[in-house]
Structure 1
Amino acid sequence: MFTPLIVLPVVIGFYYFADAYNRSNRETVSNYSQQALQYIGEKIDLELSKYETISKQMFNDPELQRLLMEKPKDRYEQVNLTQQIMDRMNLFFSGEERQYVRACVILTPQNRYKFGNEDPLGSTESNVPLFKMISDAGGKNVWFGPDALPIYNPVFILARSIRNYDLQEIAKLYIAIDTQMVSDLFNDTNLGQGASIQLIGVNQAILSDNGIHLVSDSERPLRITTLLKHNKWTISAVLPLRETYVIIRRMSLMAIWISLICVSIELFVTYWFGIDVIIPVRKLLVNMRLGIKGTKPEELQKFPGAVEIRELNDTFISVMFEIHHLIDEVVKNQTLKREAEIKLLQNQLSPHFLYNTLNSIRWMAMIQQQDNIKEMVDSLIKLLTYSLRNTNQLVELGEELAVLRDYVAIQKVRYQNFTFSVQVETELYKLRLLKFIVQPLIENSLIHGLSSAGQMGEIGLHAFVQNQKLHIEIADNGIGMSETDLDSLNAELRSESSEKIGLRNIHDRIRLLYGNDYGLLLDSKLQAGTRVTVVLPIISEGEREESRL
């Protein structure tokens, strides 16, 4: 029954696998060979450019031009002039380029100056068409392959006319380069064993090769070409793919055997799967239905069968035990929650008792005309009233600043040697923020910044909007901290556990409510003070805080 469902996908998968592997292998070989052939072309272009550079140097050499334009009066002067020209030509072939230079010839109307052992062009009469092409090029480089020579010679000819400052031709220059240079570059490549590489001219004639000629092959070979930049000659490579196809056949045969083995194993496993799974699955479904209806876990049935099904059944029973345990925990937690709510109501009596007691002290201070005590108690009452409200409730910035002034008034009784200034635009007073975000930062400035300073303390609060965010800066002129301590404090703000409970609580409270783009920014310099910036979203009056998340 299941055999077609198993065998058919395997056969189809094998076919597509073999085809994809064949195409991928051929494409990989083609890409690699194309890159290798382009590299050979670049090396040939580089070698040819060296000889073009030499011809350009000879073309632009004023001393060589002067010698070529001289007209000797007798044979002695002619011999001397020839020697000077040969010495001059020898200067241009002092490097490794000389290895493949068969000859360098300068032809003037009066004489022929030859550097090397041979002259591949020979007599002037038999090369009139070539010389005419050199003159017509107007001083530009002209390349000729062996096929362009009247008598075949395995050399490349680089030619150009040498002209004076009036652009009049005074001589013809041609350099004969041995084709062995290209053959050596072909043989140095790792294009592949048995690859045939040829350099083909513009008229499709073979100019040079690596000496390998492929015979008729039953497999389709890979042909790739690339074009040289200097003279539009083409490098052609033919790669036999016999080895590649042998590997493909081996891989295909191996895949067939593996597929047959897998099919046999699959059929065997399917047979036992039908016997060992169906009945246990049905029993598992019965257990699940009983568990959903509320049957106790200890009453659910355990049964033999496949290991996976047994483990699944055991897991289900364990889950049911956990569910019953969690139900008991929920009931217990609800009971504890109700007890905690009762305790919270009882604990709220203490702040109200303190509030009423402070009111009594305030009236006694008024009766005894102790205004400083009255003002301090008034500020403390406002702080206490403000704190009894929901801590997570949003308040206006103006209201928070008023409470801060009351807090500063209380602290001035203890820390008398400091001033507190506020710089906030009026339109920002209506923006909303969390309660008691700024007060702990003022307290930190007093305790850690100004208490140890030996000067008049200053605490400044500046609120402004920047990049669509509300920034509240609290700066003091206290003792500050070193760069190391500042880095340590910033690291503690970013860590999972921190000893700086106050700053960390404010930072986490802001980030949890508004996201990671908000929080605290710290900056401090030793003996120069500290600046803490609270970055909050802009929440206007009546706007829900969720709209800013």
Structure 2
Amino acid sequence: MLRMEIALFLVLGFIACIYFSAGKKNSLLHKNFSLLLIVTLIHLVFDGTTIYTVNRLDIVPRLLNDILHRLFIGTMVLSVYLFYKYISILAEEESGKQLRFDMPANVFLIAAELGAMLLPVHYTVTPKGNYSDGIHAGICYISTAFYLFLCVWLLLRNRKQIDPKRKFAIGTALVIEVCVCLLQAFNPTWLISGMGLTLMTLSFYLTLENPDILRAELTEQKMSMLYLKSQVNPHFLYNTLDTIRIQAQLNGDKKVADLLMRLSDFFRLSVKTDRQMVSLDDELELLEAYMELMCYRYPELQCGYDIDPELGGVQVPNFILQPIVENSLLHGLKNKGYRGAVQISAEKTDDGKMEIRICDTGSGFAPGKKAEIDQMLLNFAGQPAKLEGNSIGILNVQKRIKLLCGREYGLSYTEEPKGGVRAHLLLPLYNEEN
């Protein structure tokens, strides 16, 4: 049995080396999984140690056995709790719903850990092997049952919002743990609890946290972005060139040269695809070139900026502002004959993040459209990146922000009380020197 624990530790240790050496964003979900890996490895050490000592009660001091068993139970409870936290974070991010059982889960963790440290330890000696039992050992089963119940509840409550692949991975991991716990309960001398935690961790790694899968998703998003940027709306190009042509016919003044220069700037900046992240100043330069052309084409269209000067060097995903502004023009101000204004602002939030707001004075959302957009942005993970359709820009912007910055960031919309729409982009404060 001890050999199995050593093998499990080596396998999970190898996975941990791969995971920690891979490049990944420092999101709350990844932090939780990193902690889960560490705690589970520590638990396997105490699991293997107690398997050795519990079968040598005649030569190992009782005090040492008790201490090792308390640490074994404590790390097991913490591991199962971290599985619950991982699923709860995932469910909250993908559903957008506030969790109800976080406080009870935390209180139960404290109570279980105190029980593991303070309750008396009892050992049973049998011809097949020795094991700990009684109320102290029961903490394992009670804690596992409690947190697995919460996991199942989260999975069922958010089954429509969670991505099917993730839902399958979580469900499979839960089934594995339940089966191992039942086998352990009916065969106490088997001492296979570490196997259940290891298999759950491997299930999560292979299907949810595998760096290769994360890199594949990043590649898919990058290819989608490159396609988008190579397929600039031809109507915009043709109409702008026509505007320049008419202007040239009417008078040969400097305005023509300025328009041509801004058009050249726009295409030059829009094809910068060598970096996933660019400075906010670079994004705004592209946006300014685009809006100058649009404002010249539609004289009654106005554009204003209110940008915190300290945010110019903050890194943002490439090509996220222009699609949002273009969406405001096509679906808001177009219905008003492009009469109105677009205001772009950027400022730091109280919790150390950055929010970019794009407000328009257009016609607002059509009936039912906002709910449709909200649902699409909320369930972005379950939808393939679009290469055509009305929501091509905002869906791919959402996917790239979530992938490059973390799931706590992203795009959302609100309706303006006086008419129009406001887009909110919540982003981290990544500076160029970082």
Q: Give the TM-score range, shorter chain.
A: 0.3 to 0.5
Give the structure with the larger helix fraction.
Answer: 2
TM-score (norm 1): 0.32
Larger strand proportion, structure 1 or 2?
1
TM-score, length-normalised on structure 2? 0.40
